[in-house]
Structure 1
Amino acid sequence: KNDLVVRFILSKYPILKMSLIKITSEPALHFQEIDVKDKYNFIKQIGKGSYGEVWLVQPLRSKQIKQVRKLIYLKQQNSAPQTELEAAEREAKLLSSLKHPNIVSYIESFRSVDNFLNIVMSYCEGGDLYTKLKERKTKQQILSENQIVEWFVQICMALQYMHDRNVLHRDLKTQNIFLTKNDIVKVGDLGIARILDNSSDMATTIIGTP
C-alpha cells in the first residue's frame, strides 16, 4: 500500500523522480570576497535576526522573476563569533551537497566585500506550511486526505535522503517546511535560521551522525 502511495505521488509530480537519481555534482562554494551587488539585484528584505538579514534577490543575468533567490547575510564584524562563522561555512558546504527535489536548494555561498557570509538559496513562492495551515484554519478550509498524504510522503522522502547521508535536521516543524507555487514540499532552514537568531547550540544540534 505504501508503495502505491509513493508511485501515485511520483506520477503526479514527475520532478520528484529526481530523488531516485544519484547526483554527483560538486557544490558551488567559494569563500573569497565578492561584491554581491555585482551578482544580484535586491528586491526586498523579508527577515532580520541578531546576526543578519534575509532578502529576496534576483540574479543580474536573469529576467525571470521565478529565479529570485533568498540571500542570507551573516555579519562577521562585532557580531557572530568566529567559531560560529566557521561552523556556518562547514554547514553551507554540507547543505550545498544535498540535492533533492524536496529540500530547499542551496545555490552558492561566498563572503562579500562588506564582511558578510552570503548563502544563496532557492525561493519558495508558496510560503511555509505553518502559515498555509493557519490561513486555512482561519478560513475554515479543511485539507483533503490526499493532500495531507502527498505532503507527508514528500517530507519523508526528504528526511530519508538526508538520513541516508547521516544528516539530521533536528528542528523539523511547519515553519521550516516550505511550498512552491505548485504545492511541492521543500524542507529548509537546516541551521541557517538558528545562526541568524543567535542560537548558541547551532554548531552541535543542527547536523550530526545518527
Structure 2
Amino acid sequence: TKQAAHISLQKIGEGSFGKAILVKSREDGKQYVIKEIGISRMSSKERQESRKEVAVLANMSHPNIVQYKESFEECGCLYIVMDYCEGGDLFKTINSQKGVQFPEEQILDWLVQICLALKHVHDRKILHRDIKSQNIFLTKDGTIQLGDFGIARVLNSTVELARTCIGTPYYLSPEICENKPYNNKSDVWALGCVLYEMCTLKHAFEAGNMKNLVLKIIRGSYPPVSIHYSQDLRSLMGQLFRRNPRERPSVSSILDKPFLSHRIFRFLTPEVGYIHTHTHTHKVPGTVSPLTV
C-alpha cells in the first residue's frame, strides 16, 4: 500500500479536515506530512468535491506555498502528502518571543511572502479560507510558506457557497459574522489578523465568548499597534480591518504599496510570474513593479 511506503513518526495536528501525521518516506528518506481525510461517510458529491480540491492543490506550485507531493485513497480515507516545514509555524514563533516584539523589517519580509502566496492563490480564483498564524510555516532557511488548504474552495464552485465558518474564530471577518458569503476580501481580513499578531504578539479580536467576540469584530474595535512601528504599516493595518470588504485592498494592491513593493525582488524566483521592469526616473532605483506576466 502507498501508506506503508511511509514510516509514521508522530501526529502533529488535528484539524477540521482530519489529522496530520509526520512521516518519513521509505523512498527518499525525507520527512513529509500526510493529511488523512475520512471520506467513507461523505456523500458522493462531497467526495468529488474533495478530489477536486486535491487537484487544485496539486497544481499549486510556488516558493511561498507548502509543496504538495502526491495523494492517494485507501480504506475509506483520502491521504494528501505535503512537504514538511522544519521551522514550525508562525504561531509558535510568535509565542516563543515571550513578549519581545519583532523588528519591522522582519514583519515586512514575512508579510510580503504571505502576500505573494495569497496572490498566487487569488489569481487562480481560489479562496484560501483558513489563513491564520498556525497555517503559515517557516522552512529551515526562514522562508515563509502558506499551508493547509484543508478547506479552500474554488471561487466559482457551485457546490458550496463558502459560507461555513470553520475553525479558529479569531480570524472571522465581519461579513462572516453577519452570515454573508465568504469572498477574497475575507482572506484579506484574516491576513490583517495575522499582521496584527506579528506586530503585537496578540490576537486583534479576543473575548471570553463567541457573542462578545462577534460584537468586537463587527465594531472593528482592536487595541492600537505600538507607534514604534511605521505609519505605513499601521495605516495598512487599518485598511485590512475595514468593515466593508469592498474597502479592503486586494492582495495585489497591498504588494503595490511602495514600502512593500521594493522588497518583492528578494523573494522572486524567475518562475514566480513577476517581471522586473526597467527603472523609471521617478522611481526609487532598485524598485520592482509587480507586473503580472
User: TM-score surpassing 0.5?
Assistant: yes
Q: Deviations over 1:78-97 (max 9, x none)?
A: x3443322211100101110
Q: How far does residue 119 in structure 1 lie from its aligned partner after superposition?
A: 0.4
The residue that corresponds to 2:233 in the other structure is none
* Equivalences for residues 140-155 of structure 1 within 5 A: 140-155=99-114
Conserved 8 A contact 1:87-1:203: no
- Equivalent residue, structure 2, for 1:4: none
Once the two structures are superposed, what CA deviation does each residue of 1:50-72 show, in whole Å capped at 9, x if it has no partner?
76321111111223xxx211001
Q: Which of 52, 55, 73 is matched with 1:90 structurally?
A: 52
> What residue is the counterpart of 1:121 in the other structure?
82
The alignment partner of 2:141 has SS state of coil
Aligned counterparts, 1:1-210, within 5 A = 34-37=1-4, 39-49=5-15, 52-63=18-29, 67-77=30-40, 79-112=41-74, 114-136=75-97, 139-192=98-151, 203-205=160-162
**TM-score of the pair, normalised by structure 1:** 0.68
**Partner amino acid for 1:205?**
A
> Which structure has the larger Rg over C-alpha atoms?
2
% of aligned pairs identical? 38
- CA deviation map 1:22-64 (0-9, x unaligned): xxxxxxxxxxxx4410x2111111223576321111111223x
- Give the distance between the partners of 1:57 and 1:150, measured in 2 at CA: 30
Q: Separation in 1 of the partners of 2:21 and 2:139?
A: 18
- Matches of 1:123 and 1:95, distance apart in 2: 15
- Which amino acid in 2 is paired with 1:75? G
Unpaired segments of 5 or more residues in structure 2? 154-158, 164-181, 186-293
Deviation per residue, 1:91-127 (Å, 9 max, x gap)? 0101110100000111111112x22111001111122
Alpha carbons of structure 1 residues 58 and 204: separation in structure 2 relative to 1, 3 Å: farther
Taking structure 2 as the reference length, the TM-score comes to: 0.50
Shift of 1:163: 1.8
**Alignment root-mean-square deviation, CA:** 2.7
Q: Tell me, in whole angstroms, the C-alpha distance in 2 between the residues paired with 1:209 and 1:86.
A: 23
> Would the alpha carbon gap of residues 50 and 105 (structure 1) be closer, same or farther in structure 2, given more than 3 Å must change?
closer
2:9–2:24 contact (8 Å) kept in structure 1: yes
Deviation per CA, 1:120-160, whole angstroms, max 9, x where unpaired?
A: 01111122112211221xx2322111111110010111111
Q: Give 3-state SS (helix, strand or coil) of 2:102's partner.
A: coil
**How many residues are treated as equivalent by the alignment?**
162
Does the C-alpha gap of structure 1 residues 203 and 55 become closer, same or farther in structure 2, counting only changes over 3 Å? farther
CA distance in 2, matches of 1:47, 1:156: 25
Post-superposition offset of 1:203:
4.5
> Unaligned stretches of 5+ in structure 1?
1-33, 195-201
> Which one has more relative contact order, counting CA pairs under 8 Å at least 6 apart?
1
List structure 1 runs of 4+ shifted beyond 4 angstroms: 206-210
Amino acid across the alignment from 2:125: N
